[in-house]
Amino acid sequence: MKQAGTATPANHQAAADGVTVADVDFAQAALIALDWGTTSLRAYLFDAHGHVMATRASTAGIMNLPRSAAEGGFDAAFDDACGAWLDHARGVPVIAAGMVGSAQGWLEAPYVETPANADALVAGIVRVQTARGATLHIVPGVLQRGELPNVMRGEETQIFGALSADANGGQDTIATDGNARSLIGLPGTHAKWAVVQAERIERFHTFMTGEVFAALREHTILGRTMVTPDRPDTEAFLRGVNIAREKGQAGVLATVFSTRTLGLTGELPSEAQPDYLSGLLIGHELVGLEALLAKQGSSLAQQSLRLIGNDALCERYRLALAQFGCLRAEPVRHATERGLWRVAVEAGLVQPSPHTARAG
């Protein structure tokens, strides 16, 4: 969940993350991969073993381009992120996932439908010819049809990265049985929970937890009495989680006002209110997830699940999940890089060298 008050860089200049062009052996370059979202862009340069040789980060997401799309904004952002690499490694294939393939992106990559495996993503790749002559391969998102349709873009690539056989360096795979059903959580602005089986995304659920937190804090009366704390208040956070778990039967609309009333009655300091609200909303998310799992004859306490996302936020979810009896929730690191590498390999864009290492 993006916390209120998080600073955003004021320009689009990509950072080299400590690795300059002069530090890179471009003779080893095998793939450029982009995680291109709404507000940010991150680029990875891989060698043929799947190692990330260098990364670059930019604020030029699809809604934050250096100039309009009609004026070449996508090409400008692309050049800023990886043009220097392409100058030294011409012909290296380029792949991208995320909102760059949305209707508001560079070129729409139509969704593939659930159940979706990596082969379906490969079959749905669309291609953009960039101004510098490179071909950008854009991975499609995933659509779940039904009375309440659901979509994801970018998360599908992270999920397949987490499903890689060598996830977490081969020490912590998602499931030793390929037919086992697993649950993968992706906390964030729009939190996703995906049920995967036999290397397929079977179904998934979206909770607008992060966006609702930001909206309530920034645009409602709840934010009037809040003060940003110097450090996370775990006690207040867990208090919110447990209010949702124990007393949230009437739903979030019936409990969220307690963020204000507990303050007015002197029971919750201003500095504790943001973490209480965060816990309350995440708690309601998990109550909803628990109800969905119950329909399948399962529960959170029975899950051995994986979390993909910001380390601090995943740790918050681990704490919250423990209140529901789920004590086996482990983070999967480098899922984005692994997923982009995996799709590129399966699409035939790269031929990995023997003894290929994990991406990341």
pLDDT of residue 247 exceeding 60: yes
Here the contacts of 141-147 (C-beta below 8 Å, separation 24 or greater) are 141/101, 141/102, 141/109, 141/111, 141/112, 142/111, 142/112, 142/113, 142/114, 142/116, 142/201, 142/204, 143/111, 143/112, 143/113, 143/114, 144/113, 144/114, 144/203, 144/204, 145/113, 145/114
Residue 346 has pLDDT above 80, yes or no: yes
pLDDT of residue 1: 40
Please report the domains of the chain, with CATH numbers, ordered by start residue: 21-174+335-346 (3.30.420.300), 209-331 (3.30.420.310)
Q: Is the pLDDT of residue 44 over 70?
A: yes
Average pLDDT over residues 217-242: 97
Which carries the bigger pLDDT value, residue 53 or residue 3? 53
DSSP alpha helix (H) spans, the chain: 73-88, 118-123, 155-162, 209-219, 234-247, 252-255, 258-264, 273-294, 311-323, 335-346
For the segment 275-303, what is each residue's pLDDT rounded down to a tens digit? 999 999 999 999 999 999 999 899 999 99
Q: Beta strand 52-58 with 41-47: parallel, antiparallel or unpaired?
A: antiparallel
Average pLDDT, the chain: 90
pLDDT at 176 over 70: no
| Between residues 67 and 5, the one the model is more confident about | 67
Question: In the predicted model, is pLDDT for residue 174 greater than 50?
Answer: no
pLDDT > 90? residue 313:
yes
Q: Which of 284, 285, 210 is nearest to 247 (CA)?
A: 284
pLDDT for 179 equals: 64
Average pLDDT value for residue range 94-123: 98
List pLDDT tens digits, range 142-162: 999 999 999 999 999 999 999
pLDDT at 23: 83
Using a 10 angstrom Cβ sphere, with 0-12 exposed, 13-18 middle and 19 or more buried, the burial of residue 3 is middle
Q: How far apart are CA 220 and CA 229, in angstroms?
A: 19
pLDDT level of residue 180 (50, 70, 90 thresholds): confident
pLDDT digits (tens, 9 = 90+) for 19-43: 677 788 999 999 999 999 999 999 9
Question: Torsions phi, psi of 212, nearest 5?
Answer: -65, -40
Confidence of residue 14 (pLDDT cuts 50, 70, 90): very low
Choice between 29 and 7, residue whose per-residue pLDDT is larger: 29
Poorest-confidence range of 55-64, 173-182, 192-201, 263-272? 173-182
112-113, strands of its sheet edge to edge: 112-113, 142-144, 150-152
Task: Compute the average pLDDT of residues 331-360.
Answer: 86
Element (H, E) at 191: strand 191-197
Residue range 219-246: mean pLDDT, rounded: 97
Q: Would you say residue 227 has pLDDT above 50?
A: yes
pLDDT at 173: 42
pLDDT in tens, 58-89: 999 999 999 999 999 999 999 999 999 999 99
**Type of residue found at 128:** V
